Structure 1
């Protein structure tokens, strides 16, 4: 038997363990799985939905594998790795041997250096991040008595949190150091359309200005954020949404090669120790890390194939260039070539329709007869069609302007997705897989999730899943969120 230790029981670590046990037909592996968090694994991507109240905590839980070959250690943090003796050491001094070790320690919230705020240790009362389920519980509890909140950072997470807090009746101000919100995905014009929609939601926006510090009261509770221009923004709650950093502390203490993340080869193996592997947000493979769960699940599949000698399942088309905001009241979808720093390559053509005053902006980027990028703010139905065209590389109509004017202009119309194409990019689930599951008796979202795992990642495909169920079954029975 091969003794395998897995550290980290998040979305990638838990999926890796479950799939390895299913693929290990020879019964070669016994697994000890350690998790610093005490509960079952959960969908971290959907934490902002919990904050907004559109899902409850029970709706984001993920299954924990159960097998005689598996021992799970919830709430037990590994504090050291003794690579010479091939042992992991926990906080209570317990030592567990391994033949192979998989690091799936994920990432931690980045806390910027601000006057009055330390980057390590406990945060002052009222200052929150959103990376764990405990963070979500603390933030929702803080909303009960909060009147004003500041969200630091207007990336995807920051905007989702801001809209969630506003939905709970909290007055929200977004502070963002860049002139354009979501600058990786939006340009200035698209950002203006987004700003208009946020103001309709009574969310104040302070773009192009950095936070300098926090003001605390006598009880060390946050009372205001100080900006670089010297102004103060009062708040009872400060949510820091300034990105994440791979959690590499354990790997560094063990002497493994690290950079931004734990350095690994194409086969997810550490160059410092052939018995150690890393997957998910903590890993730094040659192609770099996207921070998206689809990449981590792809890495898990590849590593399982290596460990079991099986052929890896093919990945879906890359999902790391598609962003769909999950925020109540906001409708933003981007794909491919987009954002402030987008390349201006020869042969690229751009078509756009923009009315920032009402919160709408649509831009298409075309090259060699294909859609290579799109930005949609305030145009949800069109965005869904564009996603299909982009993902399947569907041929464009002779006059691409028709894409902005007539839904029937899409090659094959709505039926283009009924026989091909990936619906759930996080899990590489195609329409064919979904139709087979429906024909096999899946009649609601929960059943589809159980049979195909569709919708258990970022959740952005849920509308498409409902539409497919409705078209195949004529009615969808209301069920709990997946």
Structure 2
């Protein structure tokens, strides 16, 4: 019997164990999970919701692997990997042997090299947002804070800023790049997002860097910017990216660049050691989104149980929609600076900053390969569907954007559940289609909880929950074969389809 040791009990590590035990029908593997955190696994993607107060800590908990061949050791730190002896050394000096070792150590929050942040510990009033303990500390800090600064205007930064503004703090985002979410947005789109954010109570300094965090008696008081401006603050949240946790790989002599180098089958140069999730660097690149980590977990489980990897690791799944109150924004595929200087790309844009709207599509060979939609409502959801399904485009792709300003037509809505194809993806994190939900419903999964257990829909970023509820309501009403449903069910599904992309998957 093979002993598989998994280092890391987060979203990807726990998913791998679940996939492995499901695929191991012959019962050939024993699994030991070594988790550094003392708690059950939890959905890290939803930590910004916890800060915002829209979710409680208990609501983001994920089920711990419960299987007779699985042993989970929580609160266990690993000191080293001994490849020659083929075991791992724990902090207390004990050793755990392995036949296969899976590194799912994730990533740590990056602390910028800014004056005032150069000590071994963060000063009082300064926090990162990477763990459940970080979220608790930020929430506690808001009770006595009036002015907050979020350093870093990526997806997580905007979500954190929106959450803090919802707790009645005056919030300013400081971002050194010329555009917010500069991995996804160009400057034109950013300007529209900036003006919309201001209306929600989130101010920004874009294209300006923090030069110094000013402390008094070891506590945050102000942040000095490189343009000379000084901002007073009681709370500083650092959302300046992540650093893959590769120390165990480095210490054991494995090849590391940004992450742990693995091949397309998630295997390092040592055939008995694998890496998945945020700590891994596959040939296709790392997206930083949880969907890619889950795809890797599924693929590796297939490799270890059958010798054949399951699925294809592509890194696709790059639909990003920040959870920012009052800001309707979605990006996907090639966007922002990623489209620069590529003559094969056709870009069509509709920008109306005064109306808070910016739309852009990127086309290659008659297919949608990227898009940005700000303040566009339904069109953003439609673009996501076109992109993920790779639907052929009309001869004039500008028609995709003109729908955003076309008047509504009467009759059955085109996003009624009855008109959504079975192949349409409802839960992008887990690749669950409407047809999958229908099939499980027909097999007896007649509640949202049962559908979630059978398909994993709703267990990722949570953005598809309302959409799944709408489909289950429609199926329970017996209208699955009817061309129309009741107005209330259509209204619920319409709203759900517009909102299902709002939670982000680990642009985090």
TM-score normalised over the length of structure 1: 0.92
Partner of 2:482: none
Q: Which residue of 1 aligns with 2:39?
A: 39
| Uncovered stretches (5+) of structure 2, i.e. residues with no partner | 478-488, 494-499, 504-508
1:310, distance to aligned residue in structure 2 (A): 5.9
Contact 1:316 1:428 in 2 (8 A): no
How far apart, in 1, do the equivalents of 2:188 and 2:430 lie?
33
Pick which of 99-108 and 464-473 moved more: 464-473
Q: Distance in 2 between matches of 1:400 and 1:341?
A: 20
Cα offset for 1:432? Answer: 1.1
Provide the C-alpha distance between the structure 2 equivalents of 1:246 and 1:14, rounded to a whole number of angstroms: 18
Question: Any conservation in 2 of the 1:365–1:373 contact (CA below 8 Å)?
Answer: yes
Partner of 2:295: 298
What is the alpha-carbon distance in structure 1 between the residues aligned to residue 298 and residue 362 of structure 2? 33
How far apart are 1:339 and its partner, in Å? Answer: 0.7
Structure 1, residues 386-438: CA drift from partner, whole Å, max 9, x if none? 111122222333544432343789xx943663321322222121221111123
TM-score normalised by the chain length of structure 2: 0.88
Gaps of 5+ in 1: none
The corresponding residue for 1:60 is 60
Cα deviation code 1:119-168 (max 9, x no counterpart): 7x321111111111111111111111111110001000000000000011
Are residues 249 and 316 of structure 1, via their aligned partners in 2, closer, same or farther at CA, if it must alter by over 3 Å?
closer
- Name the CA distance, whole Å, in 2 between partners of 1:216 and 1:150: 14
* Closer, same or farther: CA 232–443 of 1 in aligned 2, 3 Å: farther
Whether 1:448 and 2:447 are equivalent positions in the alignment is: no
Partner of 1:72: 72
Equivalent position of 1:266 in the other structure: 264
Taking the aligned partners of 2:314 and 2:259, their CA distance within structure 1 comes to: 24
Give the whole-Å Cα distance in 2 for the aligned partners of 1:256 and 1:367: 39
Matches within 5 A, 1:287-436: 287-309=284-306, 311-314=308-311, 319-346=316-343, 348-406=345-403, 413-414=414-415, 417-436=420-439
The Cα offsets for residues 192-211 of structure 1, whole Å up to 9 and x where unpaired, read as 11011111012111000111
Aligned residue in 2 for 1:210: 209
Deviation at 1:372, TM superposition (A): 2.5
In 2, the alpha carbon distance for the partners of 1:88 and 1:122 equals: 28
Question: Could you tell me how far apart the structure 2 residues matched to 1:43 and 1:446 are?
Answer: 17
Cα offset for 1:318? 5.6
Aligned-pair distance for 1:42? Answer: 0.6
1:242 matched to 2:245? The reply is no
Q: For 2:461, what is the secondary structure of its paired residue? A: coil
CA drift of 1:463 comes to 4.2
- Aligned-pair CA distance for 1:65: 0.9
SS in 2 for 1:181: coil
Q: Which residue of the partner structure matches residue 142 of structure 2?
A: 143
Contact 1:268–1:299 under 8 Å retained in 2:
yes
* Residues 331 and 378, structure 1, Cα contact 8 Å, conserved in 2: yes
Q: Secondary structure at the match of 1:269?
A: coil
